[in-house]
Structure 1
Amino acid sequence: MAGTRADGRIARGEQTRRLVLGRAMEIASVEGLDALSMGRLASELKLSKSGVFALFGSKEDLQLATIRAAVAVFTEHVVGPARELPAGIGRLRHLCDRWLAYSRERVFPGGCFFSSVSAEYDARAGKVHDALVTARSDWLSYLERTAREARQAGELTADADLPQLVFELAALLEMANAESVLHDDVTAYGKAARGILDRLLRVAVDPSQLSAP
């Protein structure tokens, strides 16, 4: 019986943690990580403030947990679907397409979570800044690794400058998100998609591999 009660408490604690982090991600994507507070989350979710403190301990712990949760959501919506495709230029394009869909569909209400909160912490030191740097570096590294695998598969030209390619692809993605969020206009996603296609065509060994939408 004691084990059953303990398991029940753990399950309820995990459920509450997911509930709090879900709302925290929504708030942070619109208002920033500094807008998070234990009291606000407890009040909005009708939870005890002491219970929320027990789960996270401090505001910084809450912010870090929110970033980790956002990484998991990003991976689910962007990276995971692209992994289902074989290595090659098609996977690289699909990865960009999934990023645009993740922003356009407002998986987070403020658009890309990391674009929203990075400007808030880009000139500040500390654990939150470092966690955001790691998340962005991991994404760009994965994008470059995907491009490298496409070249190894013989689908990108041998002389393609992969760091430059990744920089330009990321710039198009982030510009589409910024324009859409600022102006509430989805046409930026089509412009970015066309720009990404044009850039990939310039380094494709067989451009016909990119003919399908």
Structure 2
Amino acid sequence: MSPRHSAAEAARTRERIIERGLDLASVEGLEGLTIGRLAAGLGISKSGLLGHFGTKQALQLAALERAAVIFNAEVWRPAAGAAPGLPRLRAVCEAWISYLARGVFPGGCPFVSSTFEQDGRSGPVRVLLQRQFHAWNRRLTAEVRTAVANGGLPRGTDPAQLVFELYGVMMSLNHAIQLHGDDAATTRATTAVTRLLPREGPTARPVRPASGGKPAR
């Protein structure tokens, strides 16, 4: 086998490991990513798997990085083309709800499960998870501030509070779907988001008829 083919095969194997590891982590948590269990599920040796990642922690970090790429593609990218501010916030939340409702990962959002799992822990995995959440928080906060600036949301809106509440909706949705199999959860989440992000901004004004004209009916 040529070096080029060997490198391509190694890259494909690494992708399989990350994909399988991420699916497993969504169900079992990052601590469930044991080298032996993952190797057996993929039909490769432990030494072969260790050759790609070296340690369990390296595999956990790779899984979190891939989860961020998928989350961005599923939630941010579909909404990126919407107008900045309230329209984009609503589009993000719609995509976020869809991402959870469609079960992109078999065990639900891996960030939700990892957050609970990493409570009280320390180390590189927790640090990466915090950095990922902070980056998403900054993105949402920036959109809230834009919505306030352009009149989509009231001037007194607290961006941190609103983002906190949006997180709460999505965490509750993931919980309701994964633990309870609640068929009404998606509708409830959509209703909650609509209350937090009204379709019409607070500065909306009725259209006035031209001089001498009559109001449209």
SS in 1 for 2:73: helix
Using the size of structure 2 for normalisation, the TM-score is: 0.88
More displaced, 100-109 or 195-204? Answer: 195-204
Distance 1:86 1:202, change over 3 A: closer
Q: What does 1:107-122 align with in structure 2 at a 5 Å threshold?
A: 107-122=104-119
| In structure 2, distance between residues paired with 1:157 and 1:36 | 45
Percent of pairs identical after alignment?
A: 36
**What is the deviation of 1:132?**
1.3
Partner in structure 1 of residue 40 of structure 2: 43
Using the size of structure 1 for normalisation, the TM-score is: 0.89
Structure showing greater radius of gyration is 2
**What is the deviation of 1:202?**
9.2
**What is the deviation of 1:207?**
6.2
**What is the deviation of 1:71?**
0.7
Q: Do residues 177 (structure 1) and 171 (structure 2) align?
A: no
Q: Do residues 152 (structure 1) and 149 (structure 2) align?
A: yes
| In structure 2, distance between residues paired with 1:83 and 1:150 | 15
More helix by share: 1
Partner in structure 1 of residue 61 of structure 2: 64
Partner in structure 1 of residue 51 of structure 2: 54
Aligned AA (2:189):
A
Distance 1:207 1:53, change over 3 A: farther
Partner in structure 1 of residue 211 of structure 2: none
Distance 1:40 1:107, change over 3 A: same
Unaligned 5+ runs, structure 1:
209-213
| In structure 1, distance between residues paired with 2:38 and 2:198 | 47
Q: Do residues 24 (structure 1) and 25 (structure 2) align?
A: no
Partner in structure 2 of residue 188 of structure 1: 185
Unaligned 5+ runs, structure 2:
206-217
**Root mean square deviation, CA, Å:** 1.9
